[in-house]
Amino acid sequence: MSFDLNEFLFGQSITAYEYFGAHFMTVKRRKGVMFRLYAPMVQDVSIIGDFNGWNIYTHKMNKIDDNGVFELFIPGLKNYQGYKFHFKNAKGEYVDKADPYAFYSALRPNSESRLFDYQNFIWHDEQFMKKRNRNFKEALSIYELHLGSWLGKKDGRFLSYEEIADHLITYVKDNGFNAIEIMPITQYPFDGSWGYQATGFYSVDSRYGNPMQLMSFVDRMHQAGIKVILDYVIVHFALDSFGLIEFDGTRMYEYSDDKNARSQWGSALFDLGKDPVRSFLMSSINYFISYFHFDGIRFDAVSNVIYWHGNSNLGENTGAIEFIKRLTGKLHIAHDDVMLIAEDSSAYQGVTAPLEYGGLGFDYKWDLGWMNDTLKYYSLDPIYRKYHHNYINFSMAYFFSEKFLLPLSHDEVVHGKGTIINKLYGDYYQKFAQLRNLYTYMWAHPGKKLLFMGNELASFDEWNENKSLSWNLKTFPIHDSISRLIRDLNLIYQSENAMCKEEYDSRNFEWTMVDNSNDSIYSFVRRYNGEELLFVFNMTPNYYEYYEIPVLREGKYHEIFNSDKDVYGGNNQYNGLDVETGWGGKENKPFHITIKIASFGAMIFKVL
């Protein structure tokens, strides 16, 4: 082991898990576990566990240096045995704490850490890993899911990682997605937090199994050609007394001042300016990438890293920003094929700019502005949409300033917000027509895609972490047709170069109809290396037998997709034959095509 404690103390380590925690090893020909704890302000430390009857006197740890590192080797221990650290903290109180570096933990309501040897898993994804990259030049269509509620419980228990994989692989591939994003699976005590308030930042969530089972889950996804992205929380942690809160009797992991010690969610804020905290979090993320082969990390609430409490009026958190730059820089050096994705609602510039240009170094940023404007527009009565035309065209005014990812995530279908289809204006059938239009617009718009589970079913029920998706909807053709639409959009997205290659190059996008607010019809082209696609959207219930759409290239236009086809639940008002251009077009374009446009219709044409 080449662990450097000084590197850890100065906030430069990404391998702290190799030293701290509980590691199976052989010492002087005896097999057992080496325990190491970092807690600068404690004394009289014991290891208690089910192997010693939780006796505080039998296994005293040795303080091995003045920095607060304690160590003890205990022979004869086995996987799954529970343990905690018992010590006298800086307040003079004796407390029992879970291991901050534990690789496995007991399922709530229990709180002890558990021994687990995470080494020597046999992987079968060599071919996948050789080709893995950050998807800058490829389609990326992500299916976001919560493992516990995708299929729900069976006989009152959570399904294991492997049981979920049995069904998930087929479903993801059948719907055309090439990546999944799983909501946080670092150990967390309260089901209702969905993993966003964790206590174990190295512990795999025991609801669904042990570390080897999670490795098997990722391995099987990779063998099926599916990337796996892990949602990870770097901003805050849960207040449970056995966890990180005031760990050594001081605010060791959180901010020391009362003003910044607590988050807006009532949890404790990591002090990202403290160097040991930086090493703790960077090493945790590196652990999950290195040992679990995750292909990307989605970082939650980055705006709360950039600004104090996520409020730009409170100023930039320079210590946290420095941490982010250090994190992305070190991870990209160690794993140049892994995506780093920021969920950031702020207007901070350079989130996806390289470090050498003063950026934060992320690969992608969630476009929450696009999400908010788009859903707001589709919720309007079409009569009033002409007064809010900019809700649709504004996104392209700033799109090329970052590498954006378009999300319709879990955040949009909870807490009384209504599901995606519920947000849309109109009666039952108008909602479905507009949902088809919305998804076509989302896939047509430049940027990678993310869709939360259940949105592909057009579910009217908000997501509830305590029950499974409404799979019975698949028996209703109008709901099942939305899944068919998503599948076909994914297939077109992945097969058409103009939709996925060099999408962050402004030369490859151009509006052909952007100012037609009176009819609320939009059209634009996307191109790549001589290939060109035309996209047309009718945002009103008006039907047009003949409508002129301005275009940029002369030739034939072949309709490869129409959201009004009956296989998607529409009325079959589509353009069957190729359409030829005529001279002159609206908005000063050189040519036009005359097409049929369905009520709330969305079309994709390939220029021949």
- Contact between residue 304 and residue 272 where contact means Cβ atoms under 8 Å apart: no
Query: Cis peptide before 109, with omega less than 30 degrees from 0?
Result: yes
Three-state DSSP at 55 gives coil
DSSP per residue over 318-384, as a string?
A: HHHHHHHHHHHHHHHHH-TTSEEEE---S--TTTTS-GGGT----SEEE-HHHHHHHHHHHTS-HHH
Q: Calculate ∠ Cα 479-480-484, nearest 5°.
A: 125
Domains along the chain?
5-114 (2.60.40.10), 139-500 (3.20.20.80), 506-607 (2.60.40.1180)
In this prediction, residues 532-558 reach a mean pLDDT of 97
pLDDT of residue 317: 96
Three-state DSSP at 496 gives coil
In this prediction, residues 504-515 reach a mean pLDDT of 96
How many residues would you count in the chain?
Answer: 608
Any residues with CB less than 8 A from the CB of 426 and at least 6 apart, and which? 433, 434, 541
Question: Which residue among 231, 300, 363, 532 is the active-site one?
Answer: 300
DSSP at 22: E
pLDDT of residue 108: 94
The pTM of the full predicted model, rounded to 2 decimals, is: 0.95
In this prediction, residues 98-103 reach a mean pLDDT of 98
Residue 424 pLDDT > 70, yes or no?
yes
pLDDT tens column, 574-601: 998 999 999 999 999 999 999 999 999 9
Residue 2 pLDDT > 80, yes or no?
no
Mean pLDDT of the chain: 96
First to last CA, the chain: 61
pLDDT tens column, 39-92: 999 999 999 999 999 999 999 999 999 999 999 999 999 999 999 999 999 999
Lowest mean pLDDT among 6-10, 175-179, 262-266, 446-450: 262-266
Three-state DSSP at 232 gives strand
In this prediction, residues 225-236 reach a mean pLDDT of 97
Radius of gyration of the chain (CA): 27
* Element housing 298 (H / E): strand 296-299
For residue 595 the two structure tokens come to 């097409």
b vs e for 137-151, b when ≥16 Cβ sit within 10 Å of the residue's Cβ?
Answer: eebbbbbbbbbbbbb
pLDDT of residue 3: 83
* Element housing 274 (H / E): none
pLDDT tens column, 361-419: 999 999 999 999 999 999 999 999 999 999 999 999 999 999 999 999 999 998 888 99
* Element housing 303 (H / E): helix 303-306
In this prediction, residues 35-39 reach a mean pLDDT of 98
Euclidean distance between CA atoms 175 and 565, whole angstroms: 18
The torsion angles phi and psi of 36, rounded to 5 degrees, stand at -135, 140
Any residues with CB less than 8 A from the CB of 142 and at least 6 apart, and which? 177, 179, 180, 181, 229, 405, 448, 449, 450, 451
- Report percent pLDDT > 70 for the chain: 100
Angle between helices 161-174 and 211-223 (to 10 degrees): 20
pLDDT of residue 416: 87
pLDDT of residue 415: 84
| Residue 271 known to be catalytic | no
Euclidean distance between CA atoms 219 and 225, whole angstroms: 10
Identity at 149, one-letter amino acid code: S
Question: Which residue among 343, 367, 456, 559 is the active-site one?
Answer: 343
Three-state DSSP at 221 gives helix
- CA-based diameter of the chain, in Å? 91
Identity at 509, one-letter amino acid code: F
| Residue 336 known to be catalytic | no
Residue 306 pLDDT > 60, yes or no?
yes
Euclidean distance between CA atoms 94 and 566, whole angstroms: 69
